[in-house]
């Protein structure tokens, strides 16, 4: 893919391709974009310029923003994905919780709060990726660390409340089933919003960023 490019250019091309591949960009779309990027990098190399003249100082931010520019309503997609994951998680717990051995009541708000941590983590990932170019690597890393610490502290506090005070607000199995339905609808809409024009043609979503 990048045998004829000098090392700095081939490294940039490989990093961008890896980012798109691990982010779920369809193979046909990734191949087209990589071919276009390779052409720009070859031109830069022939003119004696560096890869940063093409992708900027952060190649991964460039990769994220290129996909983001083609997506419809990225913030709405991130919000709906968060709401969908939250509703499906809460609903599943509410439906299954009473059937667990030794459990005689519906889950309390503390249990549901702990189930919110994965959805919050995904939301944080979406937000940082959408702002990667403006934040820079160090700020993204600092925000990721802060999110992990806040999620850990929140989970510990909710676990303590659950153990010492019991359920505060109970969620019935019927309400849980309704939450699952709402969550699935939200996730489907979010998935559709994540499709770029090329992604819609292939039926697969673009990455979050």
Same domain, 52 and 86: no
Round to whole Å and give the CA distance between 179 and 173.
Answer: 10
Same domain, 18 and 48: yes
Buried (b) or exposed (e) across 94-124, using 16+ Cβ within 10 A? bbebeeeeeeeebbbbbbbbbbbbebbbbbb
pLDDT per residue, tens digit, the chain (209 aa), is 445 778 888 899 998 888 877 766 667 778 888 888 999 999 998 898 999 999 988 888 888 777 776 666 777 878 888 889 888 888 888 788 767 676 555 555 666 666 777 777 777 777 766 665 556 667 767 777 777 777 677 767 766 766 676 655 566 778 888 989 999 999 998 877 776 555 555 444 444 44
Same domain, 103 and 184: yes
Same domain, 110 and 172: yes
Same domain, 154 and 51: no
Dihedral angle computed from the Cα positions of residues 78, 82, 85 and 90, in that order, rounded to the nearest 10 degrees: -170
C-alpha count within 13 angstroms, C-beta hemisphere, residue 16: 33
Domain count, the chain: 2
Same domain, 107 and 186: yes
Same domain, 91 and 45: no
Same domain, 52 and 130: no
Domain boundary pick from 19, 48, 70:
70
Round to whole Å and give the CA distance between 79 and 56.
Answer: 29
Structure token pair of residue 140: 């993204």
Cβ neighbours around 56 below 10 Å, total: 12
Round to whole Å and give the CA distance between 103 and 175.
Answer: 18
Same domain, 139 and 112: yes
Domain of residue 79: give its range: 74-193
Residue 116 lies in a domain: yes
């Amino acid at each position: 893919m990048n045998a004829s490019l000098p090392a700095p250019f081939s490294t940039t091309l490989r990093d961008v391709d890896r980012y798109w591949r691990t982010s779920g960009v369809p193979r046909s779309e990734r191949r087209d974009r990589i071919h276009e990027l390779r052409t720009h990098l070859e031109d830069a190399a022939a003119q004696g310029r560096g890869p940063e003249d093409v992708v900027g100082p952060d190649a991964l931010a460039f990769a994220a923003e290129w996909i983001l520019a083609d997506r419809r309503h990225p913030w709405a997609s991130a919000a709906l994905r968060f709401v969908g994951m939250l509703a499906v998680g809460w609903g599943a717990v509410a439906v299954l919780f009473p059937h667990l051995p030794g459990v005689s009541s519906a889950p309390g708000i503390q249990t549901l709060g702990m189930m919110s941590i994965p959805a919050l983590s995904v939301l944080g990932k979406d937000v940082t990726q959408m702002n990667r170019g403006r934040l820079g690597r160090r700020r993204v890393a600092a925000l990721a660390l802060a999110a992990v610490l806040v999620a850990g502290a929140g989970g510990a506090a909710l676990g303590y409340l659950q153990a010492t005070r019991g359920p505060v607000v109970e969620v019935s199995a019927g309400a849980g089933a309704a939450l699952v339905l709402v969550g699935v609808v939200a996730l489907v809409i979010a998935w559709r919003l994540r499709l770029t024009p090329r992604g819609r043609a292939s039926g697969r979503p673009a990455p979050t960023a």
